[in-house]
Structure 1
Amino acid sequence: MSRSLRRGVLAATVLSLSIATLSACGAGNDAQTLEVKPDNAATSVGDIKIQNASVVTQPDVNAKGPAVISATVFNNGTKDQKLTAISVDGTGQSAKLSPTTGSGPVTVPAGGSIVIGGKGDASAVLASGREAVKDGNAQPLTFTLSSAGEVKINAYVVPAKSYFAGYGPSQLPQPSGSASPSGSDKPSASGKPSGAASPSGSAKPSGSAHGGH
């Protein structure tokens, strides 16, 4: 066999082995391509699984006021569980929980799920969110459920912009003072200030401008 032919056979062998190795990475139940995980906050304890956990703050980084927690809670068990608390670890703050409608506890149905945050869903509101969390952080939260107990998860802290605009606090905080002074500084419809610009006496005589004939 010539030297050039031997080189060709060797190159073909190396190429076939490389292809076989790459194919092995994508085959079977333990394939590396199946190990890619979504980029969101998720965890599970017992029958409870929590996904897409986020803390949504005010859109203005300098605004103070409430923030909300957004997440989906799954219950793979055969009994309903009540979500009794969501606390922000290390801050002493807990969210005020409200069900989808009415009042009372937030229930995660057996074999079902609930969505927290967003219009028409259950809500979890932090009264002083801006003071408790910082945008860009992964904030540890603790979800407490009636049977599963404490479920800890790191939630992404994001402002209520772009995708999260619909999940933000329902009411933005109002400034402590009015934007304008108590007296109106706008001109009246006639173009004069709201206060009378003319002297106390009318600029025109009270009688008719024409004498009687």
Structure 2
Amino acid sequence: MSSSIRRGALAAAAIAFSITSLAACGAGNNAQTLEVKPDNAATSVGDIKVQNAMVITQPDPKAGGPAVVSATIFNTGTTSQTLDSISVEGDGSAEISPAKGGGSVTVPAGGSLVLGGKDNATATLNNMDAAVQNGNAQKITFSFSKTGEVNLRAFVVPAESYFTKWGPSNIPSTPSPTGSPSEHATPTESATGTPASGAPGTPAGEEPGSDTTTESGSSEQ
């Protein structure tokens, strides 16, 4: 996918967010849930509906570090289901963690699960591949205990602007430039305004400013 197409995809995702978020309050289950981004990738299989799916990368591509999968998952069935795995095409499987403690991540019967963001379950991609680039529509596979696999394509976006609070919590600091001013040699005293010994215009062995004409005059008498 060319860079121009990727930039267009990112712009479209941001515009979709800004427009649909204005009408989310009265749209029920199929819109904004806990302020997760609306009107992004969505699909339904059996009792499971996946909405607002995104792969969110580091804000600075050069910083390295993990990416995350963000989504809202609804379970319309009468029994709970566990989210067993998430895989992203070209990047392998995500590390799934519940909002608190350890164990499995569950989508309750008649309820929902939010992936990404503060105090929510997380799906972390620790091995980002060159095939996963911002602006791509990447295939994501969610696997559930009862429904099985649910596939869809979702935008890959950096954790900027609208997507900052849903992005990776582990953001490496940008490396500072090597070397500091203190490591460089300091100026010599001759640069401070005091001529060093043997400076141009000063005879060697004499102090700067001595009156040589007086000495030559006394020797003539």
Give the TM bin, normalised by the shorter chain. 0.5 to 0.7
1:131 deviates by 3.4
Distance 1:117 1:48 in 2: 18
1:174 offset after TM fit, Å?
5.0
> Which whole-Å CA distance do the structure 2 matches of 1:99 and 1:78 have between them?
21
Q: Distance in 2 between matches of 1:92 and 1:57?
A: 12
Q: Which residue pairs with 1:199 in the alignment?
A: none
Unaligned runs of 5+ in 1: 1-36, 193-213
C-alpha separation between the residues in 1 aligned to 2:45 and 2:165? 29
Q: Give yes or no for the alignment of 1:118 onto 2:112.
A: no
Higher mean displacement: 108-117 or 162-171? 162-171
Q: How is 1:63-74 mapped onto 2 (pairs within 5 angstroms)?
A: 63-74=63-74
The 8 Å contact of residues 91 and 125 in structure 2, kept in 1 or not, is answered as no
CA distance change for structure 1 residues 157 and 65 in 2, over 3 Å: closer, same or farther? same
Runs (4+) of structure 1 moved beyond 6 Å? none
Counterpart for residue 3 of structure 1: none
Aligned residues: 148
User: For residue 46 of structure 1, what is the amino acid of its counterpart?
Assistant: G
Indicate the residue corresponding to 2:86 in structure 1.
86
* Aligned twin of 1:167: 166
Q: In the alignment, residue 163 of structure 1 is paired with which amino acid?
A: Y
Change (3 A) 1:73 1:115: same
Q: Which amino acid aligns with 2:125?
A: L
Does 132-141 or 50-59 show the bigger shift?
Answer: 132-141
Gaps of 5+ in 2: 1-30, 32-37, 187-221
Secondary structure, aligned partner of 2:63: coil
* 1:147 equivalent in alignment to 2:151: no
Distance 2:59 2:91 in 1: 23
Q: What residue in structure 2 maps to residue 129 of structure 1?
A: 128
Give how far 1:40 is off. Answer: 1.5
- Partner residue, 2:49: 49
Q: 1:25 maps to which residue?
A: none
What SS class does the counterpart of residue 62 from structure 1 fall into? helix
Matched letter for residue 159 of structure 1: P
Cα distance change, pair 92–67 in 1 and its aligned pair in 2 (3 A) = closer
Question: Does the Cα contact within 8 Å between 2:138 and 2:154 map onto a contact in 1?
Answer: yes
In the alignment, which residue of structure 1 is the partner of 2:215? Answer: none
Whether 2:71 is the aligned partner of 1:76: answer: no
Once the two structures are superposed, what CA deviation does each residue of 1:161-182 show, in whole Å capped at 9, x if it has no partner?
Answer: 000011111112356x77555x
SS at match of 1:131: coil
DSSP 3-state at the match of 2:170: coil
Query: How far, CA to CA, are the matches of 1:93 and 1:137 in structure 2?
Result: 16
Distance 1:59 1:168, change over 3 A: same
The alignment yields a C-alpha RMSD, in angstroms, of 2.4
Aligned to 1:60: 60
Q: CA deviation at 1:120?
A: 0.5
Residue 63 of structure 1: CA displacement?
3.2
Taking the aligned partners of 1:43 and 1:123, their CA distance within structure 2 comes to 20
Normalization by structure 1: what TM-score?
A: 0.63
Contact 2:91 2:129 in 1 (8 A): no
| Aligned CA distance change for structure 1 residues 66 and 130 (closer, same or farther; 3 Å) | farther
For 2:166, give the aligned amino acid: Y
Separation of aligned partners in 2, 1:99 and 1:57? 20
